[in-house]
Amino acid sequence: MQQTIIAVCGPGVADPDTLTLAEEVGRHIAEAGATLICGGHGGVMEAACKGASAAGGLTIGVLPGPDRAAANPYVQIPIVTNMGQARNVIIVGSAAAVIAISGEYGTLSEIALALKVGTPVVGLNTWEVGKPGNDAPDPLHRAATPEQAVAIALRLASASPFLLLSAACVQARRHILI
């Protein structure tokens, strides 16, 4: 079965409280045995990678430019794209769930892209989003703590159609090989 990948999105520059939240999120992701994917730079991305790395987890940084060395020191697998902010499509498309922490406009774009492609988003002190003139409920799953954010993301990831399809393909392949 495929490894569960959880994206962590947030600003490249953040206050100490936000960085603490991000580091705890990264640690909880690793402790759950999931892989962390992010934009690979500083701020929330670096703090989340630091937490995951300290807990023995795997971290992937999808970088906007052509330089592997631009990754924060806790990124274990840097992926260079030379795509600028378009890399956000790769981040949210590779994840079974997204955790958005705080945020600037780049984070907002990741939230919007994730919602557009059907990747569930967990919000931890992040943007309020909704369609204009629509009384529909908030499309983000809100969390009050890093532990709760990761628990919700993992629950949503386990129900992800992509993962269910992957599991069905593995089962079908096993059936064919037997």
Report all structural domains of the chain as residue ranges with CATH numbers, in order of start.
5-177 (3.40.50.450)
Residue 152 confidence (pLDDT) above 80: yes
Q: What is the reported pLDDT for 138? A: 86
Residue 73 confidence (pLDDT) above 90: yes
CA distance 27 to 107: 20
pTM above 0.85, yes or no: yes
Higher pLDDT, 165 or 76: 76
DSSP H stretches of helix in 125-160:
146-158
20-40: average pLDDT: 98
Q: What is the reported pLDDT for 131? A: 78
Strands (E) located in 64-159: 77-80, 97-101, 121-124, 141-142
- Please, which residues bridge with residue 7 across strands? 37, 98
Phi-psi region of 43 (alpha: psi -120 to 50; beta: other; left: phi over 0): left
Residue 166 confidence (pLDDT) above 60: no
